[in-house]
Chain A
Amino acid sequence: MEINLEEQFQKRIDEEVKIEPRDWMPEKYRKTLLRQISQHAHSEIVGMLPEGNWITRAPNLRRKVALLAKVQDEAGHGLYLYSAAETLGMSRDEMLEELHTGKAKYSSIFNYPTLTWADMGAIGWLVDGAAIMNQVPLCRTSYGPYARAMVRVCKEESFHQRQGYEIMLTLCKGSEEQKAMAQDALNRWWWPSIMMFGPNDDNSPNSAQSMKWKIKRFSNDELRQKFVDVTVAQAEILGLTIPDKDLKWNEARGHYDFGAINWDEFNNVVAGNGPCNKQRLKARVDAWEKGAWVREAATAYAEKRAKREKNKIEAA
Protein backbone atom coordinates (compact mmCIF):
# COMPACT_ATOMS: atom_id res chain seq x y z
CA MET A 1 0.00 0.00 0.00
CA GLU A 2 2.72 2.46 1.04
CA ILE A 3 4.73 1.78 -2.12
CA ASN A 4 1.66 2.36 -4.19
CA LEU A 5 1.03 5.75 -2.59
CA GLU A 6 4.62 6.75 -3.12
CA GLU A 7 4.47 5.79 -6.77
CA GLN A 8 1.30 7.80 -7.21
CA PHE A 9 2.93 10.71 -5.47
CA GLN A 10 5.97 10.59 -7.74
CA LYS A 11 3.68 10.38 -10.77
CA ARG A 12 1.91 13.57 -9.75
CA ILE A 13 5.27 15.28 -9.27
CA ASP A 14 6.45 14.09 -12.69
CA GLU A 15 3.26 15.47 -14.24
CA GLU A 16 3.96 18.83 -12.56
CA VAL A 17 0.88 18.60 -10.36
CA LYS A 18 1.49 20.71 -7.25
CA ILE A 19 1.22 19.09 -3.83
CA GLU A 20 -1.09 20.85 -1.37
CA PRO A 21 -1.05 20.68 2.45
CA ARG A 22 -3.69 18.01 2.96
CA ASP A 23 -2.53 15.72 0.14
CA TRP A 24 -0.73 12.51 0.97
CA MET A 25 3.04 12.94 0.92
CA PRO A 26 5.99 10.79 1.95
CA GLU A 27 7.16 11.60 5.45
CA LYS A 28 10.61 12.42 4.12
CA TYR A 29 9.21 14.90 1.60
CA ARG A 30 7.37 16.64 4.43
CA LYS A 31 10.45 16.71 6.65
CA THR A 32 12.77 17.90 3.89
CA LEU A 33 10.42 20.73 3.01
CA LEU A 34 9.82 21.68 6.60
CA ARG A 35 13.55 21.95 7.20
CA GLN A 36 14.16 23.90 4.01
CA ILE A 37 11.24 26.33 4.36
CA SER A 38 11.79 27.02 8.05
CA GLN A 39 15.51 27.59 7.48
CA HIS A 40 14.61 29.91 4.66
CA ALA A 41 12.20 31.80 6.94
CA HIS A 42 14.82 32.08 9.69
CA SER A 43 17.29 33.44 7.12
CA GLU A 44 14.90 36.20 6.11
CA ILE A 45 14.36 37.18 9.74
CA VAL A 46 18.00 36.99 10.87
CA GLY A 47 18.89 38.66 7.57
CA MET A 48 17.26 41.86 8.80
CA LEU A 49 19.95 42.31 11.46
CA PRO A 50 23.07 43.13 9.41
CA GLU A 51 21.19 45.76 7.41
CA GLY A 52 19.16 47.02 10.35
CA ASN A 53 22.55 48.04 11.72
CA TRP A 54 22.75 50.87 9.15
CA ILE A 55 19.21 52.22 8.99
CA THR A 56 19.86 55.06 11.44
CA ARG A 57 23.16 55.88 9.73
CA ALA A 58 22.03 55.92 6.10
CA PRO A 59 23.72 58.85 4.32
CA ASN A 60 20.48 60.56 3.28
CA LEU A 61 16.73 60.24 3.46
CA ARG A 62 16.39 58.53 0.05
CA ARG A 63 18.77 55.78 1.11
CA LYS A 64 17.11 55.54 4.49
CA VAL A 65 13.57 54.98 3.23
CA ALA A 66 14.84 52.45 0.69
CA LEU A 67 16.79 50.47 3.29
CA LEU A 68 13.91 50.61 5.73
CA ALA A 69 11.51 49.34 3.05
CA LYS A 70 13.91 46.57 2.10
CA VAL A 71 14.37 45.37 5.67
CA GLN A 72 10.60 45.48 6.15
CA ASP A 73 10.22 43.34 3.02
CA GLU A 74 12.58 40.76 4.53
CA ALA A 75 10.31 40.59 7.60
CA GLY A 76 7.42 39.97 5.22
CA HIS A 77 9.37 37.22 3.44
CA GLY A 78 9.99 35.54 6.77
CA LEU A 79 6.27 35.69 7.55
CA TYR A 80 5.17 34.26 4.17
CA LEU A 81 7.61 31.42 4.64
CA TYR A 82 6.73 30.65 8.25
CA SER A 83 3.08 30.39 7.15
CA ALA A 84 4.03 28.01 4.35
CA ALA A 85 6.07 25.89 6.77
CA GLU A 86 3.21 25.77 9.27
CA THR A 87 1.03 23.99 6.69
CA LEU A 88 3.42 21.04 7.09
CA GLY A 89 2.45 20.58 10.71
CA MET A 90 4.91 22.49 12.86
CA SER A 91 3.72 25.46 14.91
CA ARG A 92 5.29 28.90 14.65
CA ASP A 93 6.43 28.73 18.26
CA GLU A 94 8.14 25.40 17.69
CA MET A 95 10.01 26.83 14.73
CA LEU A 96 11.12 29.87 16.70
CA GLU A 97 12.16 27.59 19.53
CA GLU A 98 14.38 25.68 17.11
CA LEU A 99 15.95 28.92 15.92
CA HIS A 100 16.52 30.25 19.42
CA THR A 101 18.08 27.05 20.72
CA GLY A 102 20.37 26.80 17.73
CA LYS A 103 18.80 23.58 16.49
CA ALA A 104 17.65 25.20 13.25
CA LYS A 105 20.11 26.85 10.90
CA TYR A 106 19.85 30.00 8.82
CA SER A 107 21.95 31.23 5.95
CA SER A 108 25.59 31.61 7.03
CA ILE A 109 26.00 34.86 5.17
CA PHE A 110 24.20 36.75 7.92
CA ASN A 111 26.91 35.85 10.41
CA TYR A 112 29.27 38.37 8.82
CA PRO A 113 29.45 41.94 10.15
CA THR A 114 28.40 45.07 8.25
CA LEU A 115 31.37 47.36 8.77
CA THR A 116 30.72 50.26 6.39
CA TRP A 117 27.88 51.83 4.43
CA ALA A 118 29.24 50.14 1.30
CA ASP A 119 28.19 46.82 2.85
CA MET A 120 24.57 47.88 2.27
CA GLY A 121 25.44 48.12 -1.40
CA ALA A 122 27.32 44.83 -1.50
CA ILE A 123 24.58 42.98 0.36
CA GLY A 124 21.80 44.21 -1.92
CA TRP A 125 23.84 43.52 -5.02
CA LEU A 126 25.44 40.20 -4.10
CA VAL A 127 23.47 38.64 -1.25
CA ASP A 128 20.04 39.51 -2.62
CA GLY A 129 21.40 38.72 -6.09
CA ALA A 130 22.38 35.23 -4.98
CA ALA A 131 19.09 34.84 -3.16
CA ILE A 132 17.19 35.74 -6.34
CA MET A 133 19.19 33.16 -8.29
CA ASN A 134 18.11 30.56 -5.72
CA GLN A 135 14.54 31.75 -5.37
CA VAL A 136 13.39 32.18 -8.95
CA PRO A 137 13.38 28.40 -9.63
CA LEU A 138 11.67 27.89 -6.26
CA CYS A 139 8.61 29.69 -7.66
CA ARG A 140 8.03 26.38 -9.50
CA THR A 141 8.81 24.11 -6.56
CA SER A 142 6.44 21.16 -6.18
CA TYR A 143 4.84 22.19 -2.87
CA GLY A 144 2.03 24.69 -3.51
CA PRO A 145 2.28 26.94 -0.42
CA TYR A 146 6.07 27.24 -0.80
CA ALA A 147 5.79 28.07 -4.50
CA ARG A 148 3.15 30.71 -3.84
CA ALA A 149 5.24 32.28 -1.08
CA MET A 150 8.23 32.38 -3.40
CA VAL A 151 6.25 34.14 -6.13
CA ARG A 152 5.48 36.95 -3.69
CA VAL A 153 9.09 37.03 -2.48
CA CYS A 154 10.55 37.17 -5.98
CA LYS A 155 8.29 40.07 -6.98
CA GLU A 156 9.81 42.07 -4.14
CA GLU A 157 13.45 41.02 -4.43
CA SER A 158 14.34 42.82 -7.60
CA PHE A 159 14.12 46.23 -5.92
CA HIS A 160 16.47 44.94 -3.23
CA GLN A 161 19.19 44.09 -5.67
CA ARG A 162 18.75 47.26 -7.69
CA GLN A 163 18.93 49.54 -4.65
CA GLY A 164 22.12 47.75 -3.57
CA TYR A 165 23.71 48.05 -6.97
CA GLU A 166 22.79 51.73 -7.09
CA ILE A 167 24.61 52.27 -3.78
CA MET A 168 27.70 50.57 -5.24
CA LEU A 169 27.43 52.60 -8.44
CA THR A 170 27.21 55.88 -6.53
CA LEU A 171 30.25 55.00 -4.42
CA CYS A 172 32.21 53.92 -7.48
CA LYS A 173 31.49 57.23 -9.20
CA GLY A 174 32.50 59.14 -6.08
CA SER A 175 35.86 59.94 -4.49
CA GLU A 176 38.82 57.57 -4.37
CA GLU A 177 37.98 56.75 -0.76
CA GLN A 178 34.38 55.94 -1.66
CA LYS A 179 35.45 53.66 -4.46
CA ALA A 180 37.95 51.96 -2.17
CA MET A 181 35.16 51.43 0.32
CA ALA A 182 33.05 49.73 -2.37
CA GLN A 183 35.99 47.52 -3.36
CA ASP A 184 36.58 46.58 0.26
CA ALA A 185 32.93 45.58 0.64
CA LEU A 186 33.11 43.44 -2.50
CA ASN A 187 36.29 41.82 -1.19
CA ARG A 188 34.60 40.83 2.04
CA TRP A 189 31.22 39.77 0.63
CA TRP A 190 32.23 37.97 -2.56
CA TRP A 191 33.24 34.60 -1.16
CA PRO A 192 30.48 34.34 1.45
CA SER A 193 28.00 35.13 -1.36
CA ILE A 194 29.40 32.36 -3.52
CA MET A 195 29.06 30.01 -0.55
CA MET A 196 25.37 30.89 -0.19
CA PHE A 197 24.57 28.25 -2.81
CA GLY A 198 25.66 25.55 -0.40
CA PRO A 199 28.13 22.67 -0.69
CA ASN A 200 29.37 21.35 -4.01
CA ASP A 201 27.04 18.86 -5.69
CA ASP A 202 29.23 15.84 -4.91
CA ASN A 203 29.07 16.90 -1.28
CA SER A 204 25.35 17.50 -1.09
CA PRO A 205 23.83 14.10 -0.34
CA ASN A 206 20.14 15.09 -0.25
CA SER A 207 20.20 17.07 -3.46
CA ALA A 208 19.32 14.19 -5.78
CA GLN A 209 16.15 13.32 -3.87
CA SER A 210 15.13 16.99 -3.72
CA MET A 211 15.58 17.24 -7.48
CA LYS A 212 13.54 14.09 -8.02
CA TRP A 213 10.74 15.53 -5.90
CA LYS A 214 11.14 18.82 -7.78
CA ILE A 215 11.65 20.73 -4.56
CA LYS A 216 14.85 21.94 -6.25
CA ARG A 217 15.11 22.51 -9.99
CA PHE A 218 18.83 23.21 -10.26
CA SER A 219 21.80 21.93 -8.32
CA ASN A 220 23.93 24.12 -6.01
CA ASP A 221 26.81 24.21 -8.48
CA GLU A 222 24.58 25.07 -11.44
CA LEU A 223 23.11 28.03 -9.58
CA ARG A 224 26.51 29.16 -8.32
CA GLN A 225 27.88 29.10 -11.86
CA LYS A 226 24.94 31.14 -13.14
CA PHE A 227 25.51 33.69 -10.40
CA VAL A 228 29.22 34.04 -11.17
CA ASP A 229 28.49 34.34 -14.89
CA VAL A 230 26.06 37.24 -14.51
CA THR A 231 27.94 39.02 -11.73
CA VAL A 232 31.28 39.42 -13.52
CA ALA A 233 29.84 41.87 -16.03
CA GLN A 234 28.10 43.79 -13.25
CA ALA A 235 31.42 44.22 -11.42
CA GLU A 236 33.02 45.45 -14.65
CA ILE A 237 30.41 48.18 -15.03
CA LEU A 238 31.25 49.31 -11.50
CA GLY A 239 34.96 49.18 -12.31
CA LEU A 240 35.55 46.86 -9.36
CA THR A 241 37.74 43.76 -9.22
CA ILE A 242 36.30 40.46 -8.03
CA PRO A 243 38.75 39.10 -5.45
CA ASP A 244 39.55 35.84 -7.25
CA LYS A 245 42.75 35.57 -9.27
CA ASP A 246 41.54 32.32 -10.88
CA LEU A 247 38.41 33.93 -12.29
CA LYS A 248 38.53 33.79 -16.09
CA TRP A 249 36.30 33.13 -19.06
CA ASN A 250 36.42 29.55 -20.31
CA GLU A 251 35.54 29.59 -23.98
CA ALA A 252 35.10 25.80 -24.18
CA ARG A 253 32.66 25.64 -21.27
CA GLY A 254 30.94 28.90 -22.11
CA HIS A 255 31.25 29.86 -18.45
CA TYR A 256 33.62 31.60 -16.08
CA ASP A 257 36.05 29.38 -14.19
CA PHE A 258 36.56 30.46 -10.61
CA GLY A 259 38.87 29.65 -7.73
CA ALA A 260 38.48 27.02 -5.02
CA ILE A 261 36.03 27.83 -2.26
CA ASN A 262 37.25 27.74 1.32
CA TRP A 263 34.81 25.17 2.66
CA ASP A 264 36.56 25.06 6.01
CA GLU A 265 35.49 28.64 6.56
CA PHE A 266 31.96 27.80 5.46
CA ASN A 267 31.68 24.79 7.78
CA ASN A 268 33.14 26.77 10.61
CA VAL A 269 30.52 29.50 10.25
CA VAL A 270 27.74 26.92 9.93
CA ALA A 271 29.02 25.29 13.11
CA GLY A 272 28.43 28.57 14.95
CA ASN A 273 31.92 30.07 14.91
CA GLY A 274 31.46 32.87 12.40
CA PRO A 275 32.20 36.46 13.40
CA CYS A 276 28.60 37.29 14.42
CA ASN A 277 26.79 34.00 15.14
CA LYS A 278 26.42 34.67 18.84
CA GLN A 279 25.42 38.29 18.39
CA ARG A 280 22.74 37.41 15.78
CA LEU A 281 21.19 34.67 17.87
CA LYS A 282 21.25 36.82 20.97
CA ALA A 283 19.46 39.63 19.12
CA ARG A 284 16.69 37.20 18.11
CA VAL A 285 16.35 35.64 21.55
CA ASP A 286 16.30 39.09 23.21
CA ALA A 287 13.62 40.30 20.82
CA TRP A 288 11.53 37.22 21.60
CA GLU A 289 11.95 37.47 25.37
CA LYS A 290 11.54 41.22 25.60
CA GLY A 291 8.45 40.99 23.43
CA ALA A 292 6.75 38.44 25.69
CA TRP A 293 4.78 41.08 27.61
CA VAL A 294 3.45 42.50 24.33
CA ARG A 295 2.20 39.10 23.23
CA GLU A 296 0.63 38.50 26.63
CA ALA A 297 -1.02 41.92 26.71
CA ALA A 298 -2.45 41.47 23.21
CA THR A 299 -3.90 38.10 24.17
CA ALA A 300 -5.42 39.52 27.36
CA TYR A 301 -6.89 42.46 25.45
CA ALA A 302 -8.35 40.17 22.75
CA GLU A 303 -9.98 38.02 25.43
CA LYS A 304 -11.40 41.05 27.21
CA ARG A 305 -12.81 42.47 24.01
CA ALA A 306 -14.32 39.13 22.97
CA LYS A 307 -16.05 38.94 26.34
CA ARG A 308 -17.33 42.50 26.05
CA GLU A 309 -18.73 41.83 22.57
CA LYS A 310 -20.38 38.64 23.76
CA ASN A 311 -22.04 40.50 26.64
CA LYS A 312 -23.28 43.17 24.26
CA ILE A 313 -24.89 40.53 22.04
CA GLU A 314 -26.51 38.81 25.00
CA ALA A 315 -27.86 42.10 26.35
CA ALA A 316 -29.42 42.99 23.02
Chain B
Amino acid sequence: MTNKEWPLWEVFIRAKQGLNHKHVGSLHAADYQMAIENARDVYTRRLEGVSIWVVESKYIHANEPSEQDALFDPASDKIYRHPTFYVLPEELNHM
Protein backbone atom coordinates (compact mmCIF):
# COMPACT_ATOMS: atom_id res chain seq x y z
CA MET B 1 0.00 0.00 0.00
CA THR B 2 1.30 3.44 -0.81
CA ASN B 3 1.15 5.68 2.15
CA LYS B 4 -0.46 9.08 1.87
CA GLU B 5 1.83 11.86 3.09
CA TRP B 6 0.61 13.43 6.33
CA PRO B 7 -0.63 16.98 5.81
CA LEU B 8 1.55 20.00 6.48
CA TRP B 9 0.85 22.23 9.51
CA GLU B 10 2.07 25.73 10.29
CA VAL B 11 3.19 26.19 13.87
CA PHE B 12 2.74 29.35 15.96
CA ILE B 13 4.26 29.71 19.41
CA ARG B 14 3.56 32.14 22.24
CA ALA B 15 6.96 32.70 23.83
CA LYS B 16 5.48 33.85 27.13
CA GLN B 17 2.22 35.09 28.60
CA GLY B 18 1.40 38.53 27.23
CA LEU B 19 3.02 38.06 23.83
CA ASN B 20 1.31 37.10 20.59
CA HIS B 21 1.75 33.75 18.90
CA LYS B 22 4.45 33.93 16.27
CA HIS B 23 5.02 31.70 13.26
CA VAL B 24 8.04 29.46 13.84
CA GLY B 25 7.90 26.90 11.04
CA SER B 26 5.97 23.89 9.86
CA LEU B 27 5.78 20.15 10.23
CA HIS B 28 3.85 17.08 9.07
CA ALA B 29 1.31 15.32 11.25
CA ALA B 30 -1.70 13.07 10.78
CA ASP B 31 -4.02 15.36 12.76
CA TYR B 32 -4.01 18.49 14.90
CA GLN B 33 -3.28 16.63 18.10
CA MET B 34 -0.20 15.00 16.68
CA ALA B 35 0.78 18.34 15.16
CA ILE B 36 0.72 19.94 18.62
CA GLU B 37 2.67 17.06 20.15
CA ASN B 38 5.27 17.18 17.40
CA ALA B 39 5.48 20.96 17.58
CA ARG B 40 6.27 20.65 21.27
CA ASP B 41 9.21 18.35 20.49
CA VAL B 42 10.44 20.16 17.41
CA TYR B 43 10.01 23.80 18.40
CA THR B 44 9.99 24.03 22.21
CA ARG B 45 12.86 21.89 23.49
CA ARG B 46 14.39 24.88 25.29
CA LEU B 47 11.48 26.71 26.92
CA GLU B 48 10.72 28.60 23.71
CA GLY B 49 7.00 28.68 24.41
CA VAL B 50 4.03 28.42 26.72
CA SER B 51 1.35 27.90 24.09
CA ILE B 52 1.15 26.34 20.64
CA TRP B 53 -1.21 26.98 17.74
CA VAL B 54 -1.23 24.74 14.68
CA VAL B 55 -3.08 25.47 11.46
CA GLU B 56 -3.19 23.14 8.52
CA SER B 57 -1.16 24.93 5.85
CA LYS B 58 -3.84 24.62 3.20
CA TYR B 59 -6.07 26.95 5.22
CA ILE B 60 -3.63 29.84 5.08
CA HIS B 61 -4.45 32.39 2.39
CA ALA B 62 -2.08 35.11 1.32
CA ASN B 63 -1.90 38.01 -1.10
CA GLU B 64 0.07 37.57 -4.30
CA PRO B 65 3.66 38.81 -4.02
CA SER B 66 3.05 40.71 -7.28
CA GLU B 67 0.41 42.79 -5.49
CA GLN B 68 2.95 44.03 -2.97
CA ASP B 69 3.33 47.52 -4.46
CA ALA B 70 -0.37 48.05 -5.06
CA LEU B 71 -1.22 47.01 -1.52
CA PHE B 72 1.51 48.57 0.53
CA ASP B 73 2.98 51.51 -1.39
CA PRO B 74 0.02 53.87 -0.78
CA ALA B 75 1.01 54.01 2.90
CA SER B 76 4.46 55.37 2.17
CA ASP B 77 3.41 58.96 1.29
CA LYS B 78 0.99 59.35 4.19
CA ILE B 79 3.48 60.78 6.59
CA TYR B 80 0.70 62.73 8.31
CA ARG B 81 -0.19 59.44 9.99
CA HIS B 82 2.93 59.74 12.11
CA PRO B 83 3.28 61.97 15.18
CA THR B 84 6.51 63.59 13.93
CA PHE B 85 4.58 65.20 11.03
CA TYR B 86 3.10 67.76 13.44
CA VAL B 87 5.33 70.68 14.40
CA LEU B 88 4.69 71.84 17.94
CA PRO B 89 6.54 74.30 20.22
CA GLU B 90 9.55 73.00 22.15
CA GLU B 91 8.18 73.96 25.56
CA LEU B 92 5.39 71.47 25.02
CA ASN B 93 7.55 68.66 26.32
CA HIS B 94 5.47 65.57 26.35
CA MET B 95 2.89 65.15 23.66
| Cα distance A76–B39 in the bound complex, in angstroms | 10
A130 at the interface (CB under 8 A from B): no
Does B89 lie at the interface of the complex (its beta carbon under 8 Å from any beta carbon of A)? no
New contact pairs (12) apart from A22-B65, A72-B41, A80-B25, CB-CB < 8 Å: A22-B62, A76-B45, A79-B42, A148-B25, A152-B25, A156-B46, A295-B3, A298-B31, A299-B30, A301-B31, A302-B31, A302-B34
Q: Which residues of A contact B8 (CB under 8 A)?
A: 86
CB neighbours of A79 from chain B (8 A)? 27, 42
- The secondary structure that dominates the A interface is helix
Question: Is there an interface contact between A149 and B1, defined as CB atoms closer than 8 Å?
Answer: no
Interface string of B27-43 (1 = CB under 8 A from A): 11011001000000110
Q: Is A292 an interface residue (CB 8 A)?
A: yes
The minimal Cβ–Cβ distance linking A101 to chain B, given in whole angstroms, is: 16
Nearest chain B CB to A1 CB, angstrom units: 14
- Chain A residue numbers with a CB within 8 Å of B4 are 299
Q: Which residues of chain B come closer than 8 Å to A299, judged between CB atoms?
A: 3-4, 6, 30
- Would you call B5 and A306 a contact (CB within 8 A)? no
**What A residues does B25 contact at CB under 8 A?**
80, 83, 148-149, 152
For A301, the chain B residues whose CB sits under 8 A away are: 30-31
Known: A83-B25, A299-B4. A76 touches B42 (CB 8 A): yes
B residues less than 8 Å from A80 (CB atoms): 25, 42
Answer whether residue B26 sits at the interface, using C-beta atoms and an 8 A cutoff: yes
Residue of chain A at shortest CB distance from B31: A302
Chain B CB within 8 A of A282 CB:
no
CA distance A167 to B14 in the complex (A): 36
Write 19 A-B pairs (CB below 8 A) sorted by A numbering.
Answer: A20-B65, A22-B62, A22-B65, A24-B65, A72-B41, A72-B45, A76-B45, A80-B42, A83-B26, A83-B27, A148-B25, A149-B25, A152-B24, A292-B3, A295-B30, A298-B30, A299-B3, A301-B30, A302-B30
Give Cα A57 to B28, complex, Å.
32
CA distance A79 to B28 in the complex (A): 9
A27 CB–B CB distance under 8 Å: no
| CB of B33, distance to nearest CB on chain A (Å) | 8
Partner of A305, one of B31, B62, B64: B31
A148 smallest CB distance to B (angstroms): 7
Residues of A within 8 A of B27 (CB): 79, 83
Task: Collect the chain A residues with CB atoms within 8 Å of residue B62's CB.
Answer: 22
Contact A298 B34 (CB under 8 A): yes
Contacts of B24 in A (CB 8 A): 152
B residues within 8 A CB of A251? none
Interchain nearest-CB distance for B54 vs A (Å): 13
Chain B residues positioned under 8 Å from A302 (CB to CB): 30-31, 34
Shortest CB–CB separation between residue B92 and chain A, in angstroms?
39
Q: Is A177 an interface residue (CB 8 A)?
A: no
Q: Mark A54-95, 1 if CB is under 8 A from B, else 0.
A: 000000000000000100110010011001001000011100
* Chain B residues within 8 Å of A305, by CB: 31
Contact check, A295 vs B6: say whether CB atoms are below 8 A apart: yes
Question: Which 10 residue pairs across A and B have the least CB separation, nearest first?
Answer: A302-B31, A298-B30, A302-B30, A83-B26, A93-B5, A22-B65, A23-B65, A295-B3, A299-B30, A79-B42
Kindly list chain B residues whose C-beta atoms are within 8 Å of the C-beta of A73: 45
Q: Which residues of A contact B30 (CB under 8 A)?
A: 295, 298-299, 301-302
